[in-house]
Amino acid sequence: MSEITTSATSGPDAPAVRERARLSFDLDVDICVVGAGIAGLTVALEAARLGASVAVLEGRTIGWNASGHQLGTVMPGYGVPLGDLIARIGFEDARELWALSKEGAEYVRATATEELIPGIAPSDGVLEVSNVDAGDQLISRLQMLGEDFETEVEGWQVDRVRAELKTDHYFHGVYYPKAFQIDGRKYVHGLAALARKAGARIFEDTPVVSIDSSGIRKRIVTPSARLRASHIVLAGNIHLGATLPRLSETLLPIWRYAAVTAPLGARLAETMTFQGSVSDSDGVDHFRIVDGDRLMWASPETTWAARPERFAPAIARRIRTIFPKLGPVEISETWGGAVGLTVHGMPQIGQLRRGLWVSSGFGRQGLNTSAMAGLLIARSILWGDERWRLFSPFELVWAGGPTGRVAGHVIGMWARGSSAAAGALARYRERVRTQERVREARLAEANRQAGTRPPRPRPQPGRPRPQRPQAPAPADRSEGEGSS
């Protein structure tokens, strides 16, 4: 039944060599989970803790895709802006969904401890920075997050952001002191170990090839064995494929690539003092310091699978664009994984038909959301918790098949391009304002030395003349008139 093989993930932290079990005999369980990413493993762990017999079937290896290649940033919320969520489902339901997303983050915090997962290295604080100068919107955003959605946040003005990140690329920031980061690669293997300890059985190299979910006892077929289960949880992300093609077609696959630099020494400390994760408000760049003096950075995306090494130069260039003072950086490792995006941007959580569950579509923010989904589904199956119904407004919508991929690619390129253009425009405006301030200061100084005051601006032809003040001071009037 088992074989010895190398570990699931590539990379320095992957467990060296361990036993990998493949299912080769028929089995009867309460719950069969398809997929051993963070979504499937959380359901398995929670259901096993609640006393169910659980089998996880994984087509390749634990954490083989996105779950073993993420950056480990854990925040409240979803992949869609809060304003859009409120517009779609109303304030009260949005508040409940937000509270669930916080519960998911707290679940990860409680699970990702050094006692439960050695080497997981949790640390606090995530900063979301803005590419554009929209400081005027900061206060209302902070009020909404803090007061209405009970989330601890701090608003950072531009100076504070730039004191911590020495780049003029970003403007204001929203700091989440209770958000945190962990070693993302260790997390998925830690979850698997905890699930096994709780009694779940995990079978790798065991792809599910077909499912018959019509009866009370559902049938699951793999190449060398059959399973019967009362409940099936589909947590296969974009790779579910032919098993349930209509479900797979509701996800737009996006491959996201990341890298870690070689040690950068003191120059990194001179460039960035912030120790938590940083992500920009457009979801383009996401980075943090690791191992004291290396940068871990995720940015490029494609709608097709490509070799991650190809993106090393692009990531190095991106780092230089954001932090020019850092100079050239050497990339020492690259990786990538595919995330599944839904048309509405919210995850797919719920019961498709009696006993057939889906936990998928977590997009770029999968840690808190998949944890929450695991909790909701396990508790619904075993305790009758019905809160997953809050996700009912977000139906399964066809993502457009191959045409959708092309459209997704074009929209992605456009969104990144327009985000870059908006950022460039904001920085241009800022430069012009700074130059204008310098010019005014010089003029004021020249006038002071010459004993004069600056001239009033001439009225523009075709523009209405500004109203004269009601009772102008004599000196003002004479100077203004004299200069026009």
Residues lying near ligand FAD in the complex (CB under 6 A) are found at 34-40, 57-60, 64-67, 69-73, 207-208, 235-237, 239-240, 243, 256, 258, 298, 336-337, 339, 360, 362-367, 370
Sign for the CA dihedral angle at 174, 177, 183, 189 comes to negative
104/173 with CB nearer ligand FAD = 104
Of 199, 195, 198, the closest CA to residue 235 belongs to 195
Supply the minimum distance, in Å, between the C-beta of residue 384 and ligand FAD.
Answer: 25
Contact 41, 62 (CB under 8 A): yes
The nearest distance, CB 69 to ligand FAD, in angstroms, is: 5
172 vs 364, beta carbon nearer ligand FAD: 364
Q: Which is nearer to ligand FAD, 97 or 426 (CB)?
A: 97
The tokens describing 457, both together, are 């601006």
**Angle at which helices 91-111 and 367-383 pack, to 10 degrees?**
100
SS3 307: coil
Of the pair 117, 240, the CB lying nearest ligand FAD is at: 240
Question: What minimum distance in Å lies between the beta carbon of 111 and ligand FAD?
Answer: 14
| Strands 154-156 and 356-360, bridge-based pairing | unpaired
Q: Find out whether 51 and 322 touch, Cβ atoms under 8 Å.
A: no
CB of 372 to ligand FAD, least distance (A): 11
- 64 or 391, CB closer to ligand FAD? 64
CB of 377 to ligand FAD, least distance (A): 12
Minimal distance, residue 43 CB to ligand FAD, in Å? 10
CB of 38 to ligand FAD, least distance (A): 5
Alpha-carbon distances, residue 342 vs 97, 153, 444 (angstroms) = 17, 28, 56
Amino acid at 227: L
Shortest distance, position 433 Cβ to ligand FAD, whole Å: 34
Which residue number, 170 or 362, has a Cβ lying nearer to ligand FAD? 362
Q: Are 247 and 75 in contact (CB under 8 A)?
A: no
Distances (CA, A) of 471 to 5, 166, 336, 474, 477: 89, 48, 69, 9, 10
Between 343 and 426, CB nearer to ligand FAD? 343
Q: Which residues contact 336 (CB under 8 A, 6 or more apart)?
A: 69, 255, 256, 257, 258, 306, 308, 311
| 58-to-33, 111, 196, 374 alpha-carbon distances in Å | 9, 22, 14, 16
Query: Using CA atoms in the order 202, 206, 211, 217, what is the torsion angle rounded to 10 degrees?
Result: -40
Q: Which is nearer to ligand FAD, 156 or 362 (CB)?
A: 362
